[in-house]
Amino acid sequence: MGYLDNKVAIVTGSGRGIGRAVAEMFAREGARVVIADKDQEPANEAAAAAKAAGAEAAVLAGDITQPDFPAKLVETAISSFGRLDILVNNAGYTWDGMVHKMDDQQFQAMLDIHLLAPFRLIRAAAPYMRDQAREEIARGETVQRKIVNVTSVAGLMGNVGQANYSAAKAGLVGLTKTVAKEWGAFNINCNAVAFGIVDTRLTRPKEQGETVDGKAVGIPDQIRSMMLKMVPQRRPGSVEEAASGIFYLASPFSDYVNGEVLKVDGGFYA
Protein backbone atom coordinates (compact mmCIF):
# COMPACT_ATOMS: atom_id res chain seq x y z
CA MET A 1 0.00 0.00 0.00
CA GLY A 2 1.31 3.44 -0.96
CA TYR A 3 0.29 6.86 0.27
CA LEU A 4 -0.91 7.81 -3.22
CA ASP A 5 -2.70 4.59 -4.18
CA ASN A 6 -5.34 5.11 -6.89
CA LYS A 7 -4.39 8.76 -7.34
CA VAL A 8 -3.72 10.24 -10.77
CA ALA A 9 -1.04 12.93 -10.99
CA ILE A 10 0.16 15.31 -13.67
CA VAL A 11 3.75 16.46 -13.25
CA THR A 12 5.04 19.06 -15.68
CA GLY A 13 8.71 19.23 -16.55
CA SER A 14 9.06 15.62 -15.44
CA GLY A 15 11.47 14.35 -18.06
CA ARG A 16 14.47 15.23 -15.92
CA GLY A 17 15.61 16.83 -12.68
CA ILE A 18 13.18 17.52 -9.86
CA GLY A 19 10.14 16.69 -11.98
CA ARG A 20 11.41 13.23 -12.83
CA ALA A 21 12.28 12.56 -9.18
CA VAL A 22 8.72 13.59 -8.27
CA ALA A 23 7.19 11.31 -10.90
CA GLU A 24 9.25 8.35 -9.73
CA MET A 25 8.43 9.03 -6.06
CA PHE A 26 4.73 9.29 -6.84
CA ALA A 27 4.93 6.05 -8.82
CA ARG A 28 6.56 4.22 -5.91
CA GLU A 29 3.73 5.45 -3.68
CA GLY A 30 1.05 4.01 -5.96
CA ALA A 31 0.05 6.95 -8.18
CA ARG A 32 -0.58 6.76 -11.89
CA VAL A 33 1.43 9.56 -13.46
CA VAL A 34 1.20 11.71 -16.55
CA ILE A 35 4.67 12.74 -17.66
CA ALA A 36 4.80 16.12 -19.39
CA ASP A 37 7.99 17.49 -20.87
CA LYS A 38 9.05 19.54 -23.85
CA ASP A 39 11.43 16.82 -24.99
CA GLN A 40 10.04 13.45 -26.07
CA GLU A 41 13.02 11.22 -25.27
CA PRO A 42 13.47 12.29 -21.62
CA ALA A 43 9.69 12.05 -21.17
CA ASN A 44 9.68 8.47 -22.47
CA GLU A 45 12.58 7.58 -20.20
CA ALA A 46 10.79 9.03 -17.18
CA ALA A 47 7.65 7.08 -18.04
CA ALA A 48 9.70 3.89 -18.32
CA ALA A 49 11.19 4.57 -14.88
CA ALA A 50 7.71 5.11 -13.41
CA LYS A 51 6.51 1.86 -14.93
CA ALA A 52 9.57 0.08 -13.56
CA ALA A 53 8.48 1.29 -10.14
CA GLY A 54 5.20 -0.54 -10.68
CA ALA A 55 2.98 2.33 -11.80
CA GLU A 56 1.02 3.14 -14.91
CA ALA A 57 2.26 6.13 -16.84
CA ALA A 58 1.19 8.25 -19.79
CA VAL A 59 3.29 10.76 -21.74
CA LEU A 60 2.57 14.03 -23.48
CA ALA A 61 5.50 15.91 -24.95
CA GLY A 62 5.14 19.54 -25.95
CA ASP A 63 5.57 23.17 -25.03
CA ILE A 64 3.67 24.01 -21.84
CA THR A 65 3.65 27.70 -22.82
CA GLN A 66 1.48 27.04 -25.88
CA PRO A 67 -2.10 28.12 -25.10
CA ASP A 68 -3.68 24.78 -26.02
CA PHE A 69 -1.14 22.49 -24.35
CA PRO A 70 -2.53 22.60 -20.76
CA ALA A 71 -5.97 21.46 -21.93
CA LYS A 72 -4.39 18.67 -23.97
CA LEU A 73 -2.43 17.60 -20.90
CA VAL A 74 -5.53 17.38 -18.74
CA GLU A 75 -7.31 15.51 -21.52
CA THR A 76 -4.43 13.02 -21.59
CA ALA A 77 -4.87 12.32 -17.87
CA ILE A 78 -8.63 11.85 -18.22
CA SER A 79 -8.48 9.70 -21.35
CA SER A 80 -5.69 7.55 -19.90
CA PHE A 81 -6.86 7.16 -16.30
CA GLY A 82 -10.34 8.67 -15.99
CA ARG A 83 -9.61 11.17 -13.23
CA LEU A 84 -7.24 13.81 -11.87
CA ASP A 85 -6.19 14.10 -8.23
CA ILE A 86 -2.79 15.81 -8.13
CA LEU A 87 -1.37 18.60 -10.24
CA VAL A 88 2.30 19.62 -9.96
CA ASN A 89 3.34 22.76 -11.83
CA ASN A 90 7.08 22.20 -12.01
CA ALA A 91 8.20 23.02 -15.58
CA GLY A 92 10.50 25.96 -16.00
CA TYR A 93 13.90 27.40 -16.78
CA THR A 94 15.86 30.61 -16.20
CA TRP A 95 16.89 33.39 -18.57
CA ASP A 96 18.97 35.75 -16.50
CA GLY A 97 19.94 39.35 -17.08
CA MET A 98 20.20 42.70 -15.35
CA VAL A 99 17.11 44.92 -15.39
CA HIS A 100 18.71 47.68 -17.48
CA LYS A 101 19.74 45.17 -20.14
CA MET A 102 16.59 43.00 -20.19
CA ASP A 103 14.13 43.36 -23.06
CA ASP A 104 10.41 42.62 -23.01
CA GLN A 105 10.79 39.21 -24.62
CA GLN A 106 13.20 38.02 -21.94
CA PHE A 107 10.91 39.28 -19.16
CA GLN A 108 7.74 37.89 -20.73
CA ALA A 109 9.29 34.46 -21.32
CA MET A 110 9.59 33.90 -17.58
CA LEU A 111 6.01 35.04 -16.96
CA ASP A 112 4.81 32.64 -19.66
CA ILE A 113 6.51 29.53 -18.30
CA HIS A 114 6.37 30.17 -14.54
CA LEU A 115 3.03 31.96 -14.13
CA LEU A 116 0.75 31.89 -17.17
CA ALA A 117 1.29 28.16 -17.87
CA PRO A 118 0.41 27.11 -14.28
CA PHE A 119 -2.66 29.37 -14.40
CA ARG A 120 -3.83 27.78 -17.65
CA LEU A 121 -3.24 24.27 -16.34
CA ILE A 122 -5.15 24.90 -13.12
CA ARG A 123 -8.00 26.42 -15.13
CA ALA A 124 -8.05 23.45 -17.49
CA ALA A 125 -8.18 21.08 -14.51
CA ALA A 126 -11.21 22.80 -12.96
CA PRO A 127 -13.87 20.48 -14.46
CA TYR A 128 -12.07 17.41 -13.11
CA MET A 129 -11.05 18.81 -9.75
CA ARG A 130 -13.36 21.63 -8.61
CA ASP A 131 -16.52 20.59 -10.52
CA GLN A 132 -15.99 16.90 -9.80
CA ALA A 133 -15.61 17.71 -6.10
CA ARG A 134 -18.89 19.63 -6.14
CA GLU A 135 -20.67 16.49 -7.37
CA GLU A 136 -18.90 14.33 -4.78
CA ILE A 137 -19.84 16.67 -1.96
CA ALA A 138 -23.48 16.57 -3.08
CA ARG A 139 -23.32 12.77 -2.70
CA GLY A 140 -21.76 13.05 0.73
CA GLU A 141 -18.32 11.94 -0.48
CA THR A 142 -14.96 13.46 0.38
CA VAL A 143 -12.02 13.14 -2.01
CA GLN A 144 -8.94 15.22 -1.23
CA ARG A 145 -7.08 16.65 -4.21
CA LYS A 146 -3.79 18.57 -4.34
CA ILE A 147 -2.17 21.29 -6.42
CA VAL A 148 1.53 21.97 -5.84
CA ASN A 149 3.16 24.93 -7.54
CA VAL A 150 6.94 25.10 -7.69
CA THR A 151 8.22 28.55 -6.83
CA SER A 152 11.60 29.72 -5.56
CA VAL A 153 13.17 31.66 -2.73
CA ALA A 154 13.93 34.18 -5.49
CA GLY A 155 10.19 34.85 -5.57
CA LEU A 156 10.24 35.58 -1.85
CA MET A 157 13.36 37.73 -1.61
CA GLY A 158 14.34 38.69 -5.16
CA ASN A 159 17.67 37.88 -6.77
CA VAL A 160 20.19 39.98 -8.65
CA GLY A 161 20.01 39.21 -12.37
CA GLN A 162 16.64 37.50 -12.09
CA ALA A 163 14.01 40.25 -12.13
CA ASN A 164 11.95 38.26 -14.64
CA TYR A 165 12.22 34.95 -12.81
CA SER A 166 11.71 36.50 -9.36
CA ALA A 167 8.63 38.43 -10.50
CA ALA A 168 7.09 35.33 -12.09
CA LYS A 169 7.73 33.17 -9.03
CA ALA A 170 6.34 35.86 -6.72
CA GLY A 171 3.23 35.96 -8.89
CA LEU A 172 2.92 32.20 -8.58
CA VAL A 173 2.77 32.58 -4.81
CA GLY A 174 -0.17 34.97 -5.23
CA LEU A 175 -1.89 32.53 -7.58
CA THR A 176 -1.34 29.71 -5.10
CA LYS A 177 -2.93 31.58 -2.22
CA THR A 178 -5.89 32.68 -4.33
CA VAL A 179 -6.65 29.19 -5.61
CA ALA A 180 -6.37 27.89 -2.04
CA LYS A 181 -9.08 30.33 -0.98
CA GLU A 182 -11.31 29.76 -4.00
CA TRP A 183 -11.08 25.96 -4.11
CA GLY A 184 -10.50 25.02 -0.47
CA ALA A 185 -14.22 24.40 0.05
CA PHE A 186 -14.01 21.69 -2.61
CA ASN A 187 -11.41 19.64 -0.69
CA ILE A 188 -8.62 20.93 -2.90
CA ASN A 189 -5.37 22.02 -1.26
CA CYS A 190 -3.21 24.43 -3.23
CA ASN A 191 0.29 25.02 -1.89
CA ALA A 192 3.69 26.02 -3.20
CA VAL A 193 7.19 24.79 -2.53
CA ALA A 194 10.02 27.32 -2.73
CA PHE A 195 13.35 25.78 -3.61
CA GLY A 196 16.75 27.22 -2.89
CA ILE A 197 19.84 25.75 -4.55
CA VAL A 198 18.94 22.27 -5.78
CA ASP A 199 21.38 20.31 -7.91
CA THR A 200 19.86 20.65 -11.38
CA ARG A 201 21.10 22.09 -14.65
CA LEU A 202 19.62 25.45 -13.62
CA THR A 203 21.92 25.77 -10.61
CA ARG A 204 25.09 23.94 -11.66
CA PRO A 205 28.13 26.03 -12.60
CA LYS A 206 27.33 28.02 -15.72
CA GLU A 207 30.79 27.19 -16.99
CA GLN A 208 29.54 23.65 -17.68
CA GLY A 209 27.72 25.08 -20.67
CA GLU A 210 24.24 23.63 -20.16
CA THR A 211 21.42 25.24 -22.13
CA VAL A 212 17.64 25.24 -22.42
CA ASP A 213 16.26 26.18 -25.84
CA GLY A 214 19.67 27.53 -26.72
CA LYS A 215 19.80 29.80 -23.68
CA ALA A 216 22.63 29.36 -21.20
CA VAL A 217 21.52 28.23 -17.76
CA GLY A 218 23.35 27.81 -14.50
CA ILE A 219 25.08 30.06 -12.00
CA PRO A 220 28.62 31.43 -12.48
CA ASP A 221 30.84 29.25 -10.32
CA GLN A 222 32.16 32.10 -8.18
CA ILE A 223 28.65 33.35 -7.39
CA ARG A 224 27.43 29.80 -6.82
CA SER A 225 30.19 29.23 -4.26
CA MET A 226 29.22 32.42 -2.45
CA MET A 227 25.56 31.40 -2.41
CA LEU A 228 26.34 27.98 -1.00
CA LYS A 229 28.19 29.65 1.88
CA MET A 230 24.86 31.28 2.76
CA VAL A 231 23.21 27.86 3.12
CA PRO A 232 23.64 26.63 6.70
CA GLN A 233 24.00 23.07 5.41
CA ARG A 234 26.76 24.24 3.03
CA ARG A 235 25.57 22.19 0.07
CA PRO A 236 22.90 22.11 -2.62
CA GLY A 237 19.86 19.93 -2.13
CA SER A 238 19.40 16.78 -4.18
CA VAL A 239 16.48 16.32 -6.55
CA GLU A 240 15.21 13.57 -4.26
CA GLU A 241 15.19 15.95 -1.29
CA ALA A 242 13.35 18.51 -3.40
CA ALA A 243 10.85 15.90 -4.54
CA SER A 244 10.16 14.97 -0.92
CA GLY A 245 8.86 18.48 -0.28
CA ILE A 246 6.46 18.18 -3.20
CA PHE A 247 5.42 14.70 -2.08
CA TYR A 248 4.52 16.01 1.36
CA LEU A 249 2.23 18.64 -0.16
CA ALA A 250 0.66 16.06 -2.47
CA SER A 251 0.18 13.43 0.22
CA PRO A 252 -2.46 12.87 2.93
CA PHE A 253 0.03 14.28 5.46
CA SER A 254 -0.83 17.80 4.26
CA ASP A 255 -4.62 17.54 4.13
CA TYR A 256 -5.00 20.54 6.47
CA VAL A 257 -2.23 22.60 4.88
CA ASN A 258 -3.56 25.12 2.37
CA GLY A 259 -2.25 28.30 0.79
CA GLU A 260 1.23 27.84 2.24
CA VAL A 261 4.74 28.17 0.84
CA LEU A 262 7.06 25.40 2.01
CA LYS A 263 10.70 26.43 1.77
CA VAL A 264 13.08 23.59 0.86
CA ASP A 265 16.36 25.45 0.83
CA GLY A 266 18.69 24.07 3.50
CA GLY A 267 18.05 27.17 5.61
CA PHE A 268 19.07 29.67 2.91
CA TYR A 269 16.04 31.86 3.67
CA ALA A 270 16.01 31.24 7.43
Which positions are annotated as active-site residues?
A: 165
- By three-state DSSP, how is residue 60 classified? strand
Which uninterrupted H or E stretch holds 19?
helix 17-28
CB atoms inside a 10 Å sphere around CB 187: 18
Q: How far apart are CA 77 and CA 150, in angstroms?
A: 20
Of 250, 206, 260, 194, which Cα lies nearest the Cα of 25?
250
Q: Are 11 and 90 in contact (CB under 8 A)?
A: yes
From the centroid of its chain, how far is CA 16? 12
Query: What DSSP designation does 238 have?
Result: P
Q: Under a CB-based contact definition with an 8 Å cutoff, are residues 63 and 69 in contact?
A: yes
Cα 173 versus chain centre, distance: 12
Q: Reduced to 3 states, what is the DSSP secondary structure of residue 174? A: helix
Listed in sequence order, the residues at least 6 apart from 111 whose beta carbon sits closer than 8 Å to its beta carbon are 164, 167, 168, 171
Phi-psi region of 185 (alpha: psi -120 to 50; beta: other; left: phi over 0): alpha
Name the pairing type of β-strands 86-89 and 8-12.
parallel
Q: d(Cα 67, Cα 123) in Å, to the nearest integer?
A: 12
